[in-house]
Structure 1
Amino acid sequence: MTQLLISVTSIEEAKIAIENGADIIDLKDPNQGALGALSIVQINSIVTYVNAQDIAKVRTSATIGDLPMQADLISRHVAELSKTKVDFIKIGFFETNDYQPCLDALQASIKAGIKLIAVLFAESTYPANLIEAIKQAGFIGVMVDTFNKNGLTFLDFYSEKKRKELAKVVVNSGLSFGLAGSLKLQHLALVKEVNPTYIGFRGGVCDENKRRLSLNAEKIKAIRKTL
């Protein structure tokens, strides 16, 4: 069954998300970009809260922020974020000439048991072998999101054929497969066709569909029922 990821900014929003059926509580600051990072203090407090709820199925994820593909910078932020005991760490793969130095720099973290998810952006073009390289590096999953939060969704960039091809490549690589990016309730039928591991929401479950406003419990509940 496809899981529901809800991005939150606080303990209060985490509570709303959990009460309305979220499987993954994703920690992100919408005011700081596509993958804006919350502070370590904020992440620590939210992870501690979620873990204290004694709900076995709920997991946490967090992003290191909109960082350039600089190996030392990314590995340092991953190591710092891992101290919060968040379940999954998301790393945005911004366009660059060579991703391998970053993948190599993360080997120590991966060998230490840190679970990493590569976030690809629907607007970007990537090397044909990148997903295989991500798998070989030891990442546990790939997520596709949108970088420009302008209302366009993953579906605007990927045709039905392209969506199915991507899903096949990721799943056949043994990776988890997440989809997000300005998605709303009305997009669920099309997104579910490719059977992603989880579907992520922020703006589509906020008041006025604006990602910087508060979470709307009824919207989360409606999506949970549709899943």
Structure 2
Amino acid sequence: MSRSLAQAAPGLLASVATLTEMAQAIAGGADIVDLKDPARGALGAWRTADLAAAVVRWRALPPGAPPLSATVGDQPLEPGALAAAAARVAATGVPLVKIGFALGPETGAEALAACLAALAPLARAHRLVGVLFADLRPDLALVPRFAQAGFAGIMLDTADKTAGSLRRHLDDRALAGFLSAARAHGLMSGLAGSLTRADAAPLAALGPHYLGFRGALCATGRTGALDPARLAAVRAALRRAAAA
């Protein structure tokens, strides 16, 4: 379901908005196909019926097909809302459930503890991936809490897609520290947030398990249609980074 925690090269997480894009991403060599509706926010969720249809198609694929992940929508940092949204997505059979945590300087350990307690039962039966938002300035020292709650992975992304990319908000030293903490606690790790093809090499050098892309895969921005040629170019950039 995921790459080895000891891997050297990051995989490509490609966010897709439709079933057609899902097929294109699989054909284009994505390592995780991320079901996300960019028109509905940073972690905009697919409708339940569409998620279920995606899972049916994915299960009919030959062995070795990349896993699916799906976002639960932009939810408040409230235990009941997060747990309900995550349970809805998990019930469709999506292998990886991505949950955003709107943590900032004034919403830290106590708020996270309540949310993780509500999600821990779900984490025992499903593979959950926590998402922190770099532009909200979360306390990255809280990463171990996700492992303690039974999460499978942790990612950094950005909440405001108009406020610049991930590397505008956190420098490479901070990103490396985040990834080191994830590795130390056995968490699959990923970096995303308005990444471009040029980000592939410097971010790959930091050692994430996955790099996530959406806007860079589209000719007209993140809410436009996926462009297979752009996906191929990002895939090639990751391969070059792995070979360097």
TM-score normalised by the chain length of structure 1? 0.94
Amino acid at match of 1:110: A
Check 1:128–1:13 CA distance in 2 against 1; reply closer, same or farther (3 A cut): closer
> By how many angstroms is 1:160 displaced?
2.2
Q: Distance in 2 between matches of 1:158 and 1:144?
A: 10
Pick aligned residue for 2:143 from 113, 117, 131: 131
Return the alpha-carbon distance in structure 1 between the equivalents of residues 145 and 173 of structure 2: 23
Compare 94-103 and 19-28 and name the one that shifted more.
Answer: 94-103
Structure 2 residue aligned with 1:110: 123
Counterpart for residue 234 of structure 2: 223
- Equivalent-residue separation in structure 2 for 1:217 and 1:151 (angstroms): 26
Amino acid at match of 1:118: G
> Quick check: 140-149 or 153-162, which moved more?
153-162
- For residues 44-193 of structure 1, the aligned pairs below 5 Å read 44-95=52-103, 96-97=107-108, 98-111=111-124, 113-127=125-139, 129-150=141-162, 152-193=164-205
Q: Secondary structure at the match of 1:99?
A: helix
Distance 1:14 1:122, change over 3 A: same
1:226 CA drift (Å): 2.0
DSSP-derived class of the 2:233 partner? helix
Where 1:116 maps in the other structure, the secondary structure is strand
Which amino acid in 2 is paired with 1:117? Answer: V
- Partners of 2:226 and 2:178 lie apart in 1 by 30
Q: Structure 1, residues 140-168: CA drift from partner, whole Å, max 9, x if none?
A: 11110111111611111121222222211
Q: What secondary structure is seen at the aligned counterpart in 1 of 2:136?
A: coil
Q: CA deviation at 1:55?
A: 4.1
Q: Is the 1:5–1:22 Cα contact (8 Å) retained in structure 2?
A: yes
Q: Is the 8 A contact 2:140 2:178 kept in 1?
A: no
Q: C-alpha displacement at 1:51, in angstroms?
A: 2.3
Q: Distance in 2 between matches of 1:207 and 1:47?
A: 27
Q: 1:127 to 1:2 in 2, by over 3 A?
A: closer
- CA RMSD, Structure 1 to Structure 2 (Å): 1.4
* TM-score using structure 2 length: 0.88
Where structure 1 has 5 or more consecutive residues not aligned to the other structure, the ranges are: none
Of the three residues 20, 32, 36, the one matched with 2:40 is: 32
Long gaps (5+) in structure 2: 1-8, 239-244
**Percent identity, aligned pairs only?**
34
SS in 2 for 1:6: strand
The structure 1 segments of at least 4 consecutive aligned residues displaced by more than 6 Å after TM superposition are none
Q: Which range is displaced more, 95-104 or 9-18?
A: 95-104
- Give the structure 1 partner of residue 4 of structure 2: none
The secondary structure found in structure 2 opposite 1:92 is strand
Aligned length: 225
